Amino acid sequence: MAAKKKTSWSIGELAREFDVTTRTIRFYEDEGLLEPARRGQTRIYSAADRTALKLILRGKRLGFSLAESRQLIQMYNPDANRAQIEALLAKIHERRAQLTQQLRDIEVMQLELDEAEQRCLESLK
- Site of interaction with DNA (CB under 7 A): 10-13, 15, 21-24, 26-28, 31, 39-43, 60, 65-67
State the minimum distance, in angstroms, from the CB of residue 53 to its own copies. Answer: 14
Selection from 58, 62, 56, 68 nearest residue 106 by Cα: 62
Q: Specify the length of the chain in residues.
A: 125
Q: What share of the chain is helix, strand, coil (3-state, %, to 5)?
A: 65, 10, 25
Per-residue contact track with its own copies, 82 to 111, x per CB under 8 A?
A: x--xx-xx--x--xx--x-xxx-xx-xxx-
Which residues lie across from 38 on neighbouring strands?
43
Which residues lie across from 42 on neighbouring strands?
39
Contact of 43 with 71, CB cutoff 8 Å: no
Binding to its own copies, residues 5-34 (CB under 8 A): none
Q: Where do contacts with its own copies occur on this chain (CB under 8 A)?
A: 55, 58-64, 72, 75-76, 78, 80, 82, 85-86, 88-89, 92, 95-96, 99, 101-103, 105-106, 108-110, 112-113, 116-117, 119-124
